[in-house]
Structure 1
Amino acid sequence: MTGVTVTMSHWLNTEKPSVRVCVREMPCVGEKWTRCTTYKRNAKQYRRVPKLKPPVRLLISLSYFFSEGIINFCVEQTNLYALQKNVDLRMSMDEARVFIGGILMSGYAKYPNKRLYWSEKSDSPRLLANSMRLNRFEKILNNFHLNDNTQAQGTDRLYKIRPLITHLNEAFLKHGGMDENLSIDESMIPYYGRHYAKQYIRGKPIRFGFKNWALNSSDGYMLQFDVYMGKNAESVPQGYGVGGDKVVDLLTKANVPHHKGFKLFIDNYFTSVKLLRNLASMGICTSGTIRDGRIEKCPLRKIAAMKKEQRGSSDFRFTDDGWQDSRCKMER
């Protein structure tokens, strides 16, 4: 029988006790919360798929994710958009490779103005300047497109870059291999311009930008991602909240097998009792912190009482399906 364990711990490096929730397979103990001192983990082991060794040449590495197919698609859509604007562009495959490489290089060698990459100064990188003229680069930049605007339906806010997102997600799964230990978290893509999807998150290292949902392996490799476009623009609600719905969505898109011993780690933004029960029914062992308002009648010791205990002390309960309250409110 699969159950849910809630643990309150007072860690050595924290002033405030934290609450953790994990789903594990354990004997049925009835419908009531039970105090326990030990429990067994009996999850099936999953043999990790060997990952590809990193190639020696950077060009080979990039070709895994920017294949000939997606580059050719970019060329077709860019030339189509230029034609719709009555611009004679005729971008070639080689020019597309140079353009994409220049965009990637600008993320490492940063300058306040793109024209500085064509500067004659000795400390400026000459790689892009030696490969393409400035006027040609700017002309491609003004017309670069990834999808046909005339076919947009207005329902997908990421329509203009959706083909690239779909291609990258497929490439990440194809070349990365599935890991037994997975995690889901949010990350920020820095952006300081004007855009309706730009987010502001106070207290983060990157406060302004696009919020990105990411499913990652234990070594940091991203297996699947999606960009947050606002609460109303998300997929059909499944009843787990914005964060919980995205957990189910990412696991589904990544085709994570059920009942194969996979382990998922999430933080308190995503964790809810209802979500853990659903993942438990899939055979996915889940561990994550949970906010105080989400423990749903679990008789844990109060935080004030835990503060008086010695550091390293803990208190936890487990149940098979004893929760009846389905309200979810997140708070660290």
Structure 2
Amino acid sequence: MSIFGLPRTTMYWNQNTRVDMVANVMSRDRWEEIMSNLHCVDNGQQLAQNNSNRDKLIKIKPFNDDLKRKFQSIPKEQQLCVDEQIVPFKGLCSLKQYNQKKPRIVNDFEVYCGNIEPAVGLPVIGASSNIVLRLVECIPKKKTKTFCFSLTIGFFFSLPLFTILADMGICALGAIRTNRWPGLQVRLGAEMEKAGRGSTIEKATDVDGVEVRVIQWYDN
């Protein structure tokens, strides 16, 4: 159904829009009966809608938790990436976000529900960096220098995150936002343009015993 993406499920059985790969599996009435009775949790155990402690994912929590465990059991490649992932959806939902063209292969995930808790036992370094620390919990730590995990990070990157990951034995690489790196001086765009396409500047320093390198280059 997700491949063909018809606007209404009944259309998979309709004579003019029938999809045999769906309609031949079960009858339309059987499909509707299953969908009307499919529940993951007991609705009577849910907190009230106006309760601040209500879990927005409570209706799918058993499924969500099991899916996370399955993803985490997948063997991990040495080079990993942290990024947003958007599931196409146009219905009514308080969790909806708008962001285009995101990857769809995962080792772990968290559904954004409007608040990001800090990682257990680690410093609070802002929501966008806290989520990275929560996601790397499934990565083996303190590998040798010849084999360490390399993490590519975009929007979430910050200097405190960089040093914490280094202490865990995880190398990190990412495009930075200069306002998140205090004390960093970079050339203005006009200066880089004058130096010509392909020109680069590299700076290095030590932050809490961690070597940090920043490279600025002029592209197109």
Q: If the length of structure 1 is used for normalisation, what is the TM-score? A: 0.55
Which residue does 2:116 correspond to in 1?
A: 234
Residue 180 of structure 1 pairs with residue 78 of structure 2: yes
Residue 110 of structure 1 pairs with residue 12 of structure 2: no
The offset of 1:322, in angstroms, is 7.0
Which residue does 2:149 correspond to in 1?
A: 262
The offset of 1:135, in angstroms, is 1.9
Say which of 196, 205, 215 aligns to 2:94.
196
The offset of 1:280, in angstroms, is 1.1
The offset of 1:151, in angstroms, is 2.7
Say which of 166, 171, 182 aligns to 2:70.
171
Q: How does 1:82-231 map to 2 (within 5 A)?
A: 106-121=1-16, 124-153=18-47, 154-174=53-73, 176-201=74-99, 204-205=100-101, 221-230=105-114
Query: What are the superposed Cα offsets for residues 232-267 of structure 1, whole Å, 9 maximum, x if unpaired?
Result: x32247432222111000001x24323341111011
Q: Which has the higher contact order (CA 8 A, sep 6+)?
A: 1
Q: If the length of structure 2 is used for normalisation, what is the TM-score? A: 0.80
Quick check: which one's strand share is greater? 1
The offset of 1:221, in angstroms, is 4.1
CA contact (8 A) 1:300 1:316 kept: no
Q: Distance in 2 between matches of 1:295 and 1:131?
A: 56
The offset of 1:312, in angstroms, is 1.1
User: 2:143 aligns to what SS in structure 1?
Assistant: coil
CA contact (8 A) 2:142 2:168 kept: yes
CA contact (8 A) 2:125 2:160 kept: yes
Residue 249 of structure 1 pairs with residue 131 of structure 2: no
Query: Is the alpha carbon distance of 1:236 and 1:173 closer, same or farther for their aligned partners in structure 2, counting shifts above 3 Å?
Result: closer
Size of the aligned set, in residue pairs, is 198
Q: Distance in 2 between matches of 1:276 and 1:166?
A: 28
Query: What are the superposed Cα offsets for residues 190-237 of structure 1, whole Å, 9 maximum, x if unpaired?
Result: 111111111234xx358xxxxxxx8xxxxx74110111111xx32247
Gapped runs of 5+ residues in structure 2? 48-52, 210-220
Q: Distance in 2 between matches of 1:251 and 1:236?
A: 12
The offset of 1:136, in angstroms, is 2.2
CA contact (8 A) 1:300 1:317 kept: no
